[in-house]
Structure 1
Amino acid sequence: MLLQRDKSLLLMVDFQAGLLPVIDGGQEAMNEAAWLGEMACLLEVPVWLTEQSPEKLGGSSASLLACLNDYRLWQKQHFGAMAETEFREALNATGKTQIVLCGTEAHICVLQTGLGLLEAGYELYWLSDASASRRPQEAAFARERACASGAVAVTADMVAYEWLHRCDTALFKEAHQRFLKPRASRPVRFY
């Protein structure tokens, strides 16, 4: 199934200042998430971020937040965000059915959040180029497990072009000028 921006929500899990330095490919993953987050803001797709125990791991990366002109921030103690009652109820209230998921660590908080989303009946899109762990093989296994459970592996470009849907609109032209042209020069790691 194609992603539709009116049904989508971009969920970024735990891109936190205290965690990113130990994540293999963490900066690259966050850059891809930030790029798609900017695109989501332009296309009016909600962007939500979570923080795991920010008093210990620090808050969300300042450079990521600087890219987003609109987002909702959630703090959590459970590894899986769906275990947080307020988060789960607010997500349900949005009416969004397609969740594009990324973050760190892929094999812990991202995976547990993803499995919770699948269990709750959401369509889950695993943003492969924006999900990372301390050890790359754990991120790869997390994606494999999520996809075996019903998630669909995607890239930021796939998501952006599906959200845009067509090339003959003013919105596409604006996105192309602001975001799409420089994409070819950006290195991307896939887990």
Structure 2
Amino acid sequence: MQLQRDKSLLLMVDFQAGLLPAINGGQEALTEASWLGEMASLLEVPVWLTEQNPEKLGATEPALLASLTGYRLWQKRHFGAMAEAEFREALNATEKTQIVLCGTEAHICVLQTGLGLLEAGYELYWFSEACASRRPQEVVLARERVCASGAVAVSADMVAYEWLHRCDTALFKEAHRRFLKPRSSRSLQFF
């Protein structure tokens, strides 16, 4: 299964200001999510965000929202977003079949959302670099469990290049100029 941008939606789960300080690798996950969110915006892939009980955990991290040019925000009480009827119905109405999923905490809200998406028949892509929890081992367990249930683990670069599909377009040139340069401590080698 290859990702196609016209079939994709990027879903970011609970990158909330009150939760992130307790998350191991939370800043790195946020950086990767922001980067792919910017790429998604350029490529007109919808970006959705959730907030779990924002009265207690705070709103979405402002730096993430500032990096996005467009998004849809959902507040939820269930750990899994698919248990929220309004969310589930709106997602179904998009006719998107490929969901790229990331967020915190990987073993709770991200995992339960992922399992719900798989159960509903969506192709699920677990964006590994942008999934984090308080304890690193729980991220590993969540990824193993969701992949054993049918998800595919992916990286930011995998997703971006599959969405771009080819290198001889004006869109690729714009993406390369703006986003496909080395980021964080990683060096990106291409052409």
Q: TM-score, with normalisation over the residues of structure 1?
A: 0.96
> Are positions 1:25 and 2:2 aligned together?
no
1:184 to partner: Cα distance: 7.2
Aligned to 2:84: 84
| Residues matched between the structures, number | 187
> Are positions 1:41 and 2:41 aligned together?
yes
1:182 to partner: Cα distance: 2.4
Can you list the C-alpha shifts for 1:108-141, whole angstroms capped at 9, x where unaligned? Answer: 0000000000000000000000000000000010
Distance in 2 (CA, whole Å) between partners of 1:12 and 1:78 is 15
Could you tell me which amino acid in structure 2 is paired with residue 121 of structure 1? Answer: G
Counterparts in 2 of 1:91-170, with a 5 A limit? Answer: 91-170=91-170
Distance in 2 (CA, whole Å) between partners of 1:10 and 1:163 is 12
Could you tell me which amino acid in structure 2 is paired with residue 27 of structure 1? Answer: Q
Return 5+ residue gaps in structure 1 as ranges. none
Return 5+ residue gaps in structure 2 as ranges. none
1:103 to partner: Cα distance: 0.1
Distance in 2 (CA, whole Å) between partners of 1:163 and 1:119 is 24
Distance in 1 (CA, whole Å) between partners of 2:41 and 2:116 is 25
Instruction: Report the aligned-residue RMSD.
Output: 1.0
User: 1:184 and 1:80, CA in 2 relative to 1: closer, same or farther beyond 3 A?
Assistant: closer
Can you list the C-alpha shifts for 1:48-94, whole angstroms capped at 9, x where unaligned? Answer: 00000000000000000000010000000000000000000000000
User: 1:136 and 1:42, CA in 2 relative to 1: closer, same or farther beyond 3 A?
Assistant: same
Distance in 2 (CA, whole Å) between partners of 1:124 and 1:141 is 17
Distance in 2 (CA, whole Å) between partners of 1:140 and 1:63 is 26
Aligned-residue sequence identity (percent) comes to 84
1:146 to partner: Cα distance: 0.2
Distance in 1 (CA, whole Å) between partners of 2:20 and 2:12 is 13
Structure 1's consecutive aligned runs of 4 or more residues displaced over 2 angstroms after TM superposition are: 182-187
Give the secondary structure class of the aligned counterpart of 1:12: strand
Aligned to 1:71: 71
Give the secondary structure class of the aligned counterpart of 2:138: helix
Could you tell me which amino acid in structure 2 is paired with residue 100 of structure 1? Answer: V
Aligned to 1:62: 62
Can you list the C-alpha shifts for 1:132-166, whole angstroms capped at 9, x where unaligned? Answer: 00000000100000000000000011000000000
Distance in 2 (CA, whole Å) between partners of 1:184 and 1:143 is 23
Aligned to 1:173: 173
